[in-house]
Amino acid sequence: MSTPLVIAISGASGSGKSLFTENLLKEFSDDGKPVQILREDHYYRSQDHLPMSEREKNNYDHPKAFEHELLVEHLEALKNWKAIEYPHYCYKTHTRLEQTEHLISAPVIIIEGIMLLANEALQPLFDIKIFVDTPLDICLLRRMKRDIAERGRTLESVANQYESTVKPMYHQFISPSRFTADVIVTQGGKNRIALDVIKSHIQQSLL
């Protein structure tokens, strides 16, 4: 049996990574090819030991906020057709959930997240590296809507976090990581041509 193909999808928060991933997944679900999806956000470090007031102050846009060691371990296992205990994360309480999910490997594994291309230890595990490149002002507007509707944030907290960590960390870590990508996707999660090109490359690799 061949080694699973691992596709990393990165870019700024609100750039359209999740939508692009969902749309790519649909392409393969329609064809009946098993695909497994992972999210880097699930690997945010547990903060059970800290009170909420401390958790709220954390810099979630620094590479150290993620337990990348565990993600490396999990990707290595999946590449060897072994199952993993996939962590789950809660943005409202800023910590991991107690329950994990037993996840089996698949011929295609897609992982999406902001810091994937900024971490050297992860690079050898990726077969295709994609960077979703969306202007930051559009990312901010999308993030505002989403964080208020889905992640229990206020307009003021989104604006403060954006100025203090999201924007500076984007320029320090995420934006430079685009140069390690194989493909840069403009127009966010709905770029039909990018989806077709990547789908066809994956199909060729699976032959």
Ligand X SMILES: Nc1ccn([C@@H]2O[C@H](COP(=O)(O)O)[C@@H](O)[C@H]2O)c(=O)n1
Ligand Y SMILES: Nc1ncnc2c1ncn2[C@@H]1O[C@H](COP(=O)(O)OP(=O)(O)O)[C@@H](O)[C@H]1O
Chain residues that interact with ligand X, rule: CB under 6 A: 13-14, 17, 41, 44, 60-61, 91, 94, 114, 166
Query: Closer to ligand X at the Cβ: 11 or 107?
Result: 11
Q: Which residues bind ligand Y (CB under 6 A)?
A: 11, 13-19, 142, 146, 187-190
Identify whether the C-beta of residue 7 lies closer than 8 Å to the C-beta of residue 130. Answer: yes
Query: Closer to ligand X at the Cβ: 90 or 193?
Result: 90
From the CB of 185, what's the least distance to ligand X, in Å? Answer: 15
From the CB of 112, what's the least distance to ligand X, in Å? Answer: 8
Query: Closer to ligand X at the Cβ: 41 or 133?
Result: 41
Query: Closer to ligand Y at the Cβ: 68 or 142?
Result: 142
Query: Closer to ligand X at the Cβ: 107 or 142?
Result: 142
From the CB of 86, what's the least distance to ligand X, in Å? Answer: 16
From the CB of 122, what's the least distance to ligand X, in Å? Answer: 16
Q: 44 touches which of ligand X, ligand Y, none (CB within 5 to 8 A by kind)?
A: ligand X
Q: Measuring CA to CA, which residue among 81, 85, 76, 80 is closest to residue 103?
A: 85
Could you give the C-alpha distances from 99 to 42, 51, 90, 102, in angstroms and in order?
12, 20, 11, 10
From the CB of 119, what's the least distance to ligand X, in Å? Answer: 15
